[in-house]
Amino acid sequence: MGELEEEIVLVDREDNVISTDKKLNCHTGEGELHRGLEIFLFDNLGRLLIQKRNGKKLTWPHYWDGTAGHPRLSESYEEAGKRRLEEELGISAELSKAFTFRYHATYGKYTEQEVCALLHGHSDEPLVINLDEVSEVNYIHLDELRKDIEQNPEKYTPWFKIAFDKYWNG
């Protein structure tokens, strides 16, 4: 099954499951409200791991992001987050949910419309980067990241900027 054939969990505005649909259908036109996740992973120096999305990504290629993805119907946000860390970076970490938020953003003819959970955790494991997902990684202190987002917002995915703002402002 290709990435665009992946089944995405459709939800209502309160994050109650409605059904599932293929990823491409959920991101075309106005899109369908579905579950997503964003991971803020910190190292032992308190730096946040950010990653540049692969240039082959359908939406926001070459943009900076955290580890992101979509939970499967049978997964909790935390289980999906662990799966995505393994798929994208070849690592594991204990994750906990900080909060959820809704957003809607368009990229060309594609749309993101998600109830997105921000998960956070810690890992100092060596990365094994999946170049089909990630083209570059960087560890950055939060105050430095905040300044860069303010000066260069066009470098970051919309959901990453929302998650970072909510995380930064508590």
Rounded mean pLDDT of 141-159?
98
Find the CATH number of the domain harbouring 32.
3.90.79.10
Rounded mean pLDDT of 57-66?
95
Name the pTM for this structure: 0.94
**What pLDDT band is residue 1 in, cutting at 50, 70 and 90?**
very low
- What's the number of domains the chain is made of? 1
Query: Three-state secondary structure along 119-145?
Result: EEEECCCCCCCCCCCEEEEEEECHHHH
Note the pLDDT of residue 4. 62
Query: 114 lies in which domain range?
Result: 3-168
Dihedral of CA 102/167/132/95: which sign?
negative
* Residue 8 β-bridge partners: 21
65 in Cβ contact with 51 (< 8 Å)? yes
Q: Kindly report, residue by residue over 72-122, the tens digit of the pLDDT.
A: 999 999 999 999 999 999 999 999 999 999 999 999 999 999 999 999 999
